[in-house]
Amino acid sequence: MLYALSVKGRPSSIRILEVYADQGAYETHLRSPHFLEYKSETEDMVLSLRLIETDPIILGLAPPAA
């Protein structure tokens, strides 16, 4: 899954949220021909790249009973 977002009030500041099924899927993506082409074609456009690992939260999940 991929979402492109702009920072509120700063429409030229873009954030990309990518979600992968697991680490293996992410690593496979990094080696794919379409990603390698994208990476080389956008090299001069990307000002910074910072990966942030996260823990998923299942939306709508009821909190544990006390």
The pLDDT of residue 45:
87
H or E stretch including 13? strand 10-18
Contact 12, 6 (CB under 8 A): yes
Query: What count of Cα atoms within 13 Å lies in the side-chain half-sphere of residue 21?
Result: 4
pLDDT digits (tens, 9 = 90+) for 34-53: 999 999 999 898 888 887 77
pLDDT digits (tens, 9 = 90+) for 1-24: 888 988 889 888 888 888 888 889
Confidence of residue 64 (pLDDT cuts 50, 70, 90): low
Confidence of residue 31 (pLDDT cuts 50, 70, 90): very high
